[in-house]
Amino acid sequence: MRYVTLPDSTPRLLPFYLTMEEYVARRLPDGTDAFFMWQVDPTVIFGRNQVMDNEVNTGYCASRGINVYRRRSGGGCVYADRDNIMFSYITSDADAVTTTFSRYTSMVAGMLRSLGLDASDTSRNDIMIGGRKVSGNAFYHIPGRSIVHGTMLFDTDMANMMAAITPSSVKLDAKGVDSVRSRITVLSEHLPAMDIEQFKDYARRYLCSGPDIALTPDDVRAIEEESRPYYTREWIDGRRAGRAGKPVRIDGAGEFRVAVACDGSGLIERVDLTGDFFMTGDLDSMLLDRLRGIRPEPDAIRQALAGADPSQTIPGLSAEALIKLICHP
């Protein structure tokens, strides 16, 4: 796996690095994996399928100058600052994206174990130390490439993190805890003799080999131009079919809210699924577009979904679970 470098150390906003992932992925030689680390000023990053107002304390973020952006991958809401390291992993392997995701989290957990830490990657998307989360991860796919990215909590501002993010009670109940702080840890608690730069150097040497992939000033300018859509209100706010129902958590799949818009005849015009679930394909074209023009009833939906396997688009979601979400939101 080769490390990706920038030509300078200029501080940049989060959309630059998300775009950098896609930029590198489109140019990555076949058979090559790439990796890079980055840091940002205080920022909340929420998943592609989440509703910002449900996940982010926008008033607090605005008052504290905390940036808020939506990413292209699924999963939940995370907080990052200069004491938190973001990891990006890009592969050209033809493996299913879920296989790529598992391989990545296994590599990172192995790196932490090599430092003597009790690290595991057995949860849906987290890496744990002693049963407490130190890294949350998400993935998505572009043609021919898979991208995995995530946090690595080194010594973050816990007060900002807890105030900026507003997880639902359903999510907290599923974890068996009543606070964000009780289920996370930071590396500085476990590696008192290592500072953040030393850790970054160790991670790079452990995970990467071979010549760096060195981006040029021209690459930087191209990435900056391509990052513009991330800043638009249309992308950040997202789209909604209407008022979503209460959150429902499905083991192995994530948290879901459903909103159904019907026409004057009671036929479905649009269905929106929001939440912290992951996707391995296009949700609309593979699933939700099939539901347009039918009644929001179990038999009609079951017939419309014939031949489709929702778990191939949203891992862990069965057809019957999707029907229940839509008919009993």
Share of the chain above pLDDT 70, in %: 92
For strands 2-5 and 33-38, give the pairing: parallel
Strand order in the sheet with 119-120: 119-120, 126-129, 132-142, 145-153, 84-91, 33-38, 2-5, 213-214
What φ, ψ does residue 107 adopt, rounded to 5°? -65, -45
Q: Report CA 168 to chain centroid distance, whole Å.
A: 17
165 bridge partner residues: 56
Residue written as token pair 């997202």: 238
Average pLDDT, the chain: 90
- Residue 242's pLDDT band (cuts 50, 70, 90): low
Q: Which tens digit of pLDDT belongs to each residue from 166-182? A: 865 555 555 544 455 67
What φ, ψ does residue 208 adopt, rounded to 5°? -120, 155
Q: Mean pLDDT across the stretch 296-321?
A: 93
45 bridge partner residues: 69, 78
- Residue 99's pLDDT band (cuts 50, 70, 90): confident
Has domain 248-327 been given CATH number 3.30.390.50? yes
* Every domain of the chain and the residues it spans: 2-237, 248-327
Structure tokens at 235: 């992308």
Q: Which CATH number fits domain 2-237: 3.20.20.70, 3.30.930.10, 3.30.70.260, 3.10.28.10?
A: 3.30.930.10
